[in-house]
Structure 1
């Protein structure tokens, strides 16, 4: 079975609009190769979605550009994360620099953590990061976020639950 057999609607969507989407992304990105990659990623995202998501779409081009915009945002976010990671690595003494394999694994892990944190609501994400990265107490986090300590406790419980579920899934 080919991937396009999974959804009877995805094959025609791909056939009829692939060229349009690639052109649209090429104009946005200014690079045919990146546009091809993101076009592929857009259809891959649809392939992984429930089949009914591609059924009876009134405006397929609008639908595809919406999905492609989300894919582009994820792509830019990954690039920014990778640049930040490489900047930190460049500041390390050469003797401490990880091997290319370790760098790839670390970057992949950072991207997964970023995706996981992105699924949290903004206050819970911010509370979690303030706690884990800056070592702030719940009272300090409450002051920083202008919420009660009990709200911070709820945010942290939600964030920790989210991390545990994510870890279990992966």
Structure 2
């Protein structure tokens, strides 16, 4: 068993060099908690090693242990992150996520084209299409608001929707239009 002065020698060497070891480790890690963990592990390993064999150069030994602990800590942290990503791969179906993202982008493209096409309509037809498609008003109410006949509203609506769907077909080239005047995707997932 070592004399108490040897144990104190390791402790005092650690206390005396703690700030410089902290600075050394902070070059490898930014997170204060990681640095604290590494310093604690450095002291414990050095203290345990001194119990087995007397350490003649505690300062040099502390730095060497700090470097080894930091390397091991980084490797373990990277390994834990890799394991997390592997678990995430099992849980998440990346193909479905990719398809979802692609579908959202496609829908945004279609909406953008539809808006541009509406903007290019004559003012009267644009009002009819917006009141029906955006505000979901019935044809009769649109006719009353715009002081038009129901037949004229229906003709304006049909003309506006045809124009918008044609714009989508021309720009995207891979859609079919159903009888309700909305474009549906013909692509296979």
* TM > 0.5: no
Structure possessing the higher radius of gyration over alpha carbons: 2
More helix by share: 1
The TM-score with structure 2 as length reference comes to 0.40
